[in-house]
Amino acid sequence: MKRSAAWRYFDQDDESDISKVSCTICGEVLSRANNTSNLFKHLKCKHNSEYKTVDAEKKEQEKSQANKRKATPKQMTMQSALGRGTTYPISSKRWGDITESLVGMIAKDMQPLSVVENEGFIKFVKELDPRYQLPSRSTITRSLLPKKYEKLKDAVKRELTQVKHVALTTDLWTSNQTLSYLTLTCHFINHEMQLCSKVLETLYVQKDHTAPNLPEELKNIAKEWEITQKICCIITDNAANIVAAVNLLGWRHLPCFAHTLNLIVQDSLNAVTGLPRLQKKCKDIVTYFHRSTKATEKLLSMQSQANTTTKPMKLKQDVETRWNSTFYMMERFLN
């Protein structure tokens, strides 16, 4: 008889008392009597994500057993026999290897953690290997991803011990949810003379982006990665708060060339008589078409009628932090 999937989240701590088990997720001790009813109840009340996983497996198992009773007995092929076997134990190498690849995919491709709950993905994985049981979303969040992070962190730390000097780049940015973050990236040449770049930290900044707060954050990151004495310079944009923070640390500061070039060009454009007003008119027109699907379709249709040899093109909007986007906006506008 196949062991219930609920046991994946429970351990029997005391061999002398088989009626007591503990939840591996929250540690709560339960009485299990002679069945798994209490285990399922606990998962349903306290760990709904895991409950959905084991409940679906339980129903699938019951359905499979019902089909077996209805089916005419026949000799199974080796492939089908393997497919009908028990799931891989979590402690097995096979489960570990597949799970390692799964976590790597989520991190590398920036997949949402909910991917392991998607019906199509679950079916896809079952087709690849019926014996593999996907870890739950909470298991990935609380255990697997942190372990992956620590493993990669140790590898990068070992690599950094082999270099004498590092350069840093950092930026303060705001997410679509208006949350503020500080990202620090380390650049160095390894023993094989290869240029390497490693993102050391993306830190949620709870305090205001003021100079007195930022140096402490940067200093702590450098200390954590053991590179404080190896920093030759740090490159940032020209924002006053980050420049002041770097100056307080006493690190050699270099302004970002691209950001500086953008400021120079923007100042030059604004100094041309009449150009800022013309630029604003172009931008307002482009904004109108970007906000109206109907107007954009009409514009594309009129282009097709006027010139059948050239593919219709949408207008381009400029971006304040990219000086060349102003040129591309006006070029497209004229064409």
131: Cβ contacts below 8 Å, ≥ 6 apart: 82, 83, 85, 86, 87, 88, 94
Q: Which residue segments constitute the domains of the chain, with CATH numbers given?
A: 5-62 (no CATH), 88-156 (no CATH), 163-255 (3.30.420.40), 268-334 (no CATH)
Q: Is 315 exposed, middle or buried (0-12, 13-18, 19+ CB in 10 A)?
A: middle
| H or E stretch covering 250 | none
Tokens of 275: 């150009």
pLDDT number for residue 1: 40
Q: DSSP for 7-70?
A: GGGEE---TT-TTEEEETTT--EEE-TTSSHHHHHHHHHH-HHHHHHHHHHHHHHHHHHHHHHH
| H or E stretch covering 77 | none
Tokens of 150: 């620590």
Q: For the chain, state the CA radius of gyration.
A: 29
pLDDT number for residue 288: 92
Q: What's the pTM value of the predicted model, to 2 decimals?
A: 0.62
Beta strands of 60-165 (E only): which ranges?
A: none
Tokens of 13: 């701590």
pLDDT digits (tens), the chain, 335 positions: 446 777 777 776 665 566 777 888 887 887 766 677 888 888 888 888 888 888 888 787 777 776 666 655 545 455 555 555 688 998 999 999 999 999 999 999 999 999 999 999 999 999 999 999 999 999 999 999 999 999 999 999 999 999 999 999 999 888 888 888 899 999 999 989 999 999 999 988 876 655 567 898 899 999 999 999 999 999 999 888 889 889 999 999 999 998 899 899 989 988 999 988 998 999 999 999 989 999 999 989 988 888 777 888 899 988 888 888 988 998 888 87
